[in-house]
Chains A and B, each alone.
Chain A
């Protein structure tokens, strides 16, 4: 089983739609969680960290379910500019910063 698993997609949605991605992780001791965004042929960039209580940043909401070992990302009111690959990232050990990356979920937002 992979340490971090994501549905590769692609998710094809119209502008204005709400879309959700899930990610599961295998190490129950994992300490911190992130969503990174990667545009085609570009470097990954941090979208948001994921906190135990859940957190929101504008149209983006991240949730963590430790009991079921999954992380979710919800995007509301999708924009064309949201088209990208979203990487689920897990830090298995506190303070160590040795990140484990999922393979990514591709999102395509169409007019």
Chain B
């Protein structure tokens, strides 16, 4: 079984609809992240959470919100989807330690298309 799972894997929706992307992890990690990936732009951080009740904006949070319902779950919502939110969305996790070289583990991604 995958350690970081995302649902749905693919979604097509219409402008103005509310969409929720779910992320779950069984790694026991405390830190979770949401990224989007667009061709030519690389991965960009939307929101991140270092623990339950801790929510932080990333570089492109406008138009998105998140909820950390439990340590293992981190959901991303698009309140009113627009076409330029069409992208590949990744959830990632990492564990807090004193080192600087901690790996981030990514889920398989959600391909979202907003028409």
Contact = CB atoms under 8 A, between A and B. Distances in A.
Contacts of A97: 31, 94, 100, 102, 104
Interface in A57-74: none
A1 interface: no
A32 B101 contact: yes
Interface string A65-88: 000000000000000000000010
Interface residues of A, number: 23
Nearest to B58: A98
Contacts of B94: 97
Main secondary structure of the interface of B (DSSP, over half): loop
B90 interface: yes
Interface string B83-101: 0000010100010001111
Nearest to A45: B106
A87 B100 contact: no
B98 A95 contact: yes
Chain B interface residue bracket vs A: 20 to 34
Contacts of B44: 101
A98 B45 contact: yes
A69 to B, nearest CB: 17
Interface in B53-72: 58
A104 B90 contact: no
A22 interface: no
Interface stretch (B11-19, B35-43, B74-82): B35-43
13 contacts: A32-B100, A34-B103, A43-B108, A44-B106, A46-B103, A49-B103, A91-B100, A97-B94, A97-B102, A98-B45, A98-B58, A101-B35, A101-B42
- Which 4 A-B pairs rank lowest in CB-CB distance, beginning with the nearest? A43-B106, A103-B42, A101-B43, A32-B100
